[in-house]
Structures are given as structure tokens and as C-alpha cells.
Amino acid sequence: MSGNGLTVPDVRRCLECGRCSYICPVSHMTDEFSPRKVAEQFVLEGKLRNDRGLWQCMSCGACTEFCQSEVRFHEYLQAKRRELRETFKAEDNHGGAPGSMMRLTANKSVHTKKDNWVTPDLKLDLDSETLLFVGCTPYFDVMFRYLRDDLLEIPRAAVKLLNASGIRPRLLEGERCCGHDAYWLGDEDLFDRLAGLNLDAIEKAGVKEVVAFCPECYSTLKQVYPRRFGPLGFEVRSVAEVIGEKIKEGELELKREEEKVTYHDPCRLGRHARVFEAPRDILDACGDLVEMPRNREMAACCGNAAFVNCNGSTRLWQLDRLREARESGASRLVTACPKCLIHLSCAEGQNVQMIKGEKMTVVDLHVLAASRIKRV
């Protein structure tokens, strides 16, 4: 316990069985990293040999899922990053733009305006008890428009789905980034500032429930905020959970079409927040869901979590996932996370361009479901 509400999981329970290294996406593709190796260096040598041990991990949580000694390696490494981030620096991707946006908005004096995507057909209610947390998707739309020009469709689709199930959400005035990247990169100060500003704003709004379509916002709000700041005065649910429930209760009907789709579990929604079935309920209502061999707890990561250290092994991993999706016989690969969508689209774009591979379209769960809403 480091005295600030964040624990340092004990890695000395490790039995060196190697299950983590078998499942870890990074150690599949490069010899330079494995959870077991990193844990061993920390325990036996008291320090890391190089920065790869610190930054190659995508904190997807697969190692923790399969550890039989209950070592929570991805959280252990997060704690180590808090200590060592000044010694071994992470390599920022995209010129450090996503991280800089996070830092720029972590100040009381700036007033963010992230509602540029709202169109007149979306029904919002300023007095609603449900708040939609938008997250960084509007920023990603600007930064990654060259990869996907439809990223703003995701928040729009989320509102459409909520509207169709009788919920008129409100948006958070002065919403900041949830702090996910800062947290997993071990930048406690930045995370605390962002989370503090968000919590103040949510409290001021006085809502009962916060829904998020981005799995990172969802898992951060739901799991990290209470761990750091104590119980929250509101509930946190993902849009997928809300919609999945409404479909089960029969309050929302989606048009079924003869189309085979496969679902890529985002690590934050699946292994971190344990939402496996709700997205599948939604997809079952949309078309035929075929599973890839690695699904649910076994799901493969999209290759990057916090826009650092994207490299050759990341790319191999993404291409492997896309191949798996193609072999499942599905015509489209569905994911529920804007970052998975960006990363897999990036790999797919290069795959089609360079290897002349068969194209696998990647689509967001919310966008797919919203396109199938039955008009009453």
C-alpha cells in the first residue's frame, strides 16, 4: 500500500509457471518483453534492465486473467511506472498529441467545448439524470481523420441508441479526458487533476448515472475513480450494458439482417470491467455473431492502450488479429472501443495497401446498432 489509495500488488507470489508469458500479446511478438521476465528482474535484481520492460506492456490484463497465483501484473507494472517514469521515458506516438491534449485540458481555467458533433436529430435534456461521458473521441476525430472520417458517428450513435430506449442524456459541461492514459502511464498528478475536475463537474451536475460508450472512460470512471477517491455518488454503466438490457427487456428492437459479424472484445470493457455478454446480446439482435477463437477473457488486444510505444510487434499483433477475424468467416469486425477501431483500421489500411490483402471492415458496435434501430 503506497498510502494514496493505490496499491502495489505483490509480484512475489509468482511461481514462474509462465502462463502469463504464453498469453501476453507482447511476448508473442517480441523476445524483449514478458511479464515473467520483468517480474523476475524486479524481484531478483531490484531494478529493470531497460525501458522495454516498463513500456511495452499494453495493460490489457491477459496475464492477470490467467495467473494462477493471483499476481495482478498489469497493475503491478502500473505501480512501477509511477516510480520509474522519469528514469525510463515512454516513446510518445503521434508526436505526443493525445497526451498533450490531456495535459492542456487539465487546468481549471480552460473550458472545453466537445459538443461539436451534436446534430439536431439527437435528443438531449439538460435536466436529465443520465449523463453521457463523451471522452476523447472528438479529439481523435481531428487527429485520426486520415484513418477514419466517421469517428464522430460513435457519440451520435450512442445518443441515438439511448434515445430509442427512452433515455435523453445530458452532456457534461467542462468535461475533461477521464485520465485513463495518464493513469496507466503512471502519471498520478495529471490523473488526479483530470479526475478531480471531472468529479467536481459531475457532482455539480447532480446526476444519478453516468454512461460512457468508450470502454476506457467506463472502466476508469467505474473502477479507478472509486479506488482513488472513495465511493462515487453516482452509478457508472456502459452504453452497451444499457442497450443490451433494453433489448433483453424488449424495450428496444433492432432490425436483423443476414450478415455475419464477429466481435473483438476491448480489453477495458471485457477483462477490466467484465462486460462480455451485453455487446453480444446487441450483435445477436443485429445479425449472426460468429466468434473468433480468441474471445471474451481470451480476447486479443488491439495493440496499444495509451498511445505510447507503438512498434513492429504491435503491428504484427494487429495483423494477426485481423487474420483471425477474416478466418472466422465474418464480413465485418465489430469492436466497442474508439481506440481499437483506430488501431485496427490503421493496420487494416496498411495491410490492404501493402500486402494487397482482402479487406476486413472494422466497425463500431454503437454505430452498427444505431443503423439498425427500428423506426416506430
Partner 1 sequence: MHPAGDPDSTASLDQPPGCCPSAWRPRIIAFCCNWCAYAGADLAGVSRRQYSPEVKILRVMCSGRVSPGMVLRSFASGADGIIVLGCHPGDCHYQIGNRYTEKSVDQVRELLDLAGIDDSRLRLEWISASEGEKFGRIIDEFTRTVRALGPLEAPE
DSSP-derived 3-state class of residue 88: coil
Minimum separation from the CB atom of position 221 to partner 1 (A): 20
The residue (of 111 and 375) whose beta carbon lies closer to partner 1 is 111
Greatest distance between any 2 Cα atoms in the chain: 66
- Looking at residue 288, its amino acid is D
Minimum separation from the CB atom of position 53 to partner 1 (A): 25
Quick note: the x/- pattern for partner 1 over 102-121, rule CB under 8 A, is -xxx-xxxxxxxx-x-----
DSSP-derived 3-state class of residue 228: helix
The residue (of 114 and 180) whose beta carbon lies closer to partner 1 is 114
Compute the Cα dihedral for 240, 244, 246, 252 and give only its sign.
positive
The helix-helix angle for 239-248 and 153-164 (nearest 10°) equals 30
> Cα–Cα distance between 78 and 338 in angstroms, integer?
22
> Cα–Cα distance between 196 and 314 in angstroms, integer?
33
Please report, as residue ranges, which positions from 33 to 92 form the binding site for partner 1 (by CB under 8 A). 92
The residue (of 193 and 271) whose beta carbon lies closer to partner 1 is 193
The residue (of 200 and 358) whose beta carbon lies closer to partner 1 is 200
The residue (of 20 and 101) whose beta carbon lies closer to partner 1 is 101
Minimum separation from the CB atom of position 167 to partner 1 (A): 25
Compute the Cα dihedral for 35, 315, 366, 208 and give only its sign.
positive
Quick note: the x/- pattern for partner 1 over 123-142, rule CB under 8 A, is ---------------xx--x
Minimum separation from the CB atom of position 144 to partner 1 (A): 10
| Position among 4, 68, 100, 361 found at the interface with partner 1 (CB under 8 A) | 100
> Cα–Cα distance between 216 and 149 in angstroms, integer?
21
Which residues fall within 8 angstroms of residue 135, CB to CB, at 6 or more apart?
Answer: 177, 178, 212, 213, 214, 216, 217, 338
Minimum separation from the CB atom of position 174 to partner 1 (A): 8
The residue (of 193 and 280) whose beta carbon lies closer to partner 1 is 193
From edge to edge, which strands make up the β-sheet containing 260-264? 288-289, 260-264, 332-335, 361-364
| Position among 122, 143, 199, 363 found at the interface with partner 1 (CB under 8 A) | 143
The footprint of partner 1 (CB under 8 A) covers 92, 94-97, 99-101, 103-105, 107-114, 116, 138-139, 142-143
